[in-house]
């Protein structure tokens, strides 16, 4: 019956890779996870279902934590009224270090519609915005 476990590890990795590849990128991570998961299962003879459950819990916890953090960021208008000195002709500046170099990032991956601006000097999260489409 050993091949069933091997098959389920393989299937789990496919799902895991599909979810995490945009964040982590590359098959190096996938190989590492394969190695760690495989050795855990072999060494502790754990039931595979617990890995799926633990993975799902960890993933949803991370998902919720990220969204919660994003949701509590000010939006553009709130940011300007909180930090009026940060409004520039060309855009906005960072309220911490006053750098005018900002970049935006997606919440869950590069193409995410939920985005936020971060200061490129001190990496402070500045404000959130949504891509409408
Ligand atoms: Zn800054």
Strands (E), 2-123: 102-106, 114-119
3-state SS class at 79: helix
Q: What is the pLDDT of residues 48-67, one digit of tens each?
A: 777 778 888 888 888 888 89
Taking each helix axis from N to C terminus, what angle separates 2-24 and 27-44, rounded to the nearest 10 degrees?
Answer: 150
Q: What is the pLDDT of residues 22-41, one digit of tens each?
A: 555 556 666 777 788 777 77
Supply 104's token pair: 């935006």
Tell me, rounded to whole angstroms, the distance of Cα 114 from its chain centroid. Answer: 12
Distance, CA 102 to ligand 1 centroid (Å)?
8
pLDDT of 132 > 60? The answer is yes
Report pLDDT for 17: 64
Phi-psi region of 123 (alpha: psi -120 to 50; beta: other; left: phi over 0): left
Torsion, Cα 37 41 46 50, to 10 degrees, reads 20
pTM: 0.58
Distance, CA 120 to ligand 1 centroid (Å)?
7
Distance, CA 93 to ligand 1 centroid (Å)?
8
Q: What is the pLDDT of residues 98-123, one digit of tens each?
A: 999 999 898 888 888 899 999 999 99
Distance, CA 55 to ligand 1 centroid (Å)?
34
Q: How far apart are CA 102 and CA 93, in angstroms?
A: 7
What would the 3-class secondary structure string for 55-74 be?
Answer: HHHHHHHHHHHHHHHHHCCC
The answer to whether 95 and 83 are in contact (CB under 8 A) is yes
Of the two residues 10 and 81, the one the predictor is more confident about is 81
Of the two residues 35 and 15, the one the predictor is more confident about is 35
Q: What is the mean pLDDT of the chain?
A: 82
Of the two residues 17 and 132, the one the predictor is more confident about is 132
């Amino acid at each position: 019956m050993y091949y069933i476990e091997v098959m389920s590890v393989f299937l789990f990795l496919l799902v895991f890779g599909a979810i995490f590849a945009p964040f982590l990128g590359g098959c190096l991570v996938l190989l590492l996870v394969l190695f760690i998961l495989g050795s855990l299962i072999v060494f502790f003879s754990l039931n595979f279902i617990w890995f799926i459950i633990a993975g799902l819990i960890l993933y949803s916890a991370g998902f919720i934590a990220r969204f919660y953090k994003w949701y509590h960021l000010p939006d553009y208008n709130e940011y300007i009224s909180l930090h009026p000195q940060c409004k520039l002709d060309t855009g906005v500046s960072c309220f911490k270090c006053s750098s005018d170099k900002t970049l935006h990032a997606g919440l869950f991956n590069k193409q995410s519609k939920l985005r936020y601006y971060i200061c490129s000097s001190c990496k402070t999260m500045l404000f959130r915005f949504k891509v409408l489409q």
